[in-house]
């Protein structure tokens, strides 16, 4: 597939497999709604019209604005997304993220992880289940 990696001001977006996109956020970024829309645009460009899962590696010291979070979990925004795994480096972000997801359900199944390999294993299961269905 051509253009398997795209760089933006805040992230690198790459094709991990035929159904999984990995987004690696640079350290110390403030993520705003425009960044989220830009990343989604490039996800669609990489995947064409296929459904896909997203692995997001959050850099150290990153912040996502409330508006950017709402854009990222919007039902209309995620029509082709099977699942999202968010890998965080800060244990406090992990606890806060999981607590947030218990209270606020997202349209797309989303889960926080401390380790990339566990996130990938979870996404691969979600993709396999979706393909099987």
118: tokens are 């566990």
Domains detected in the chain:
5-132 (3.30.750.24)
121's enclosing H/E stretch is helix 116-132
pLDDT at 2: 43
Residues in the chain, total: 133
Distance of CA 3 to the CA centre of its chain: 19
Point out the residues of the chain with pLDDT beneath 70: 1-3, 77-78, 133
Distance CA 80, CA 59 (A): 25
pLDDT at 3: 53
């Amino acid at each position: 597939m051509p253009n398997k990696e795209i760089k933006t001001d805040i992230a690198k977006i790459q094709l991990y497999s035929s159904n999984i996109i990995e987004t690696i956020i640079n350290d110390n970024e403030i993520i705003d709604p425009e960044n989220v829309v830009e990343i989604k645009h490039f996800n669609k460009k990489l995947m064409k019209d296929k459904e896909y899962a997203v692995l997001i590696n959050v850099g150290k010291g990153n912040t996502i604005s409330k508006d950017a979070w709402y854009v990222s979990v919007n039902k209309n925004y995620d029509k082709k997304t099977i699942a999202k795994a968010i890998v965080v480096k800060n244990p406090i972000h992990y606890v806060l993220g999981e607590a947030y997801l218990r209270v606020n359900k997202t349209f797309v199944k989303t889960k926080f992880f401390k380790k990339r390999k566990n996130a990938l294993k979870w996404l691969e299961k979600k993709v396999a289940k979706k393909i099987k269905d």
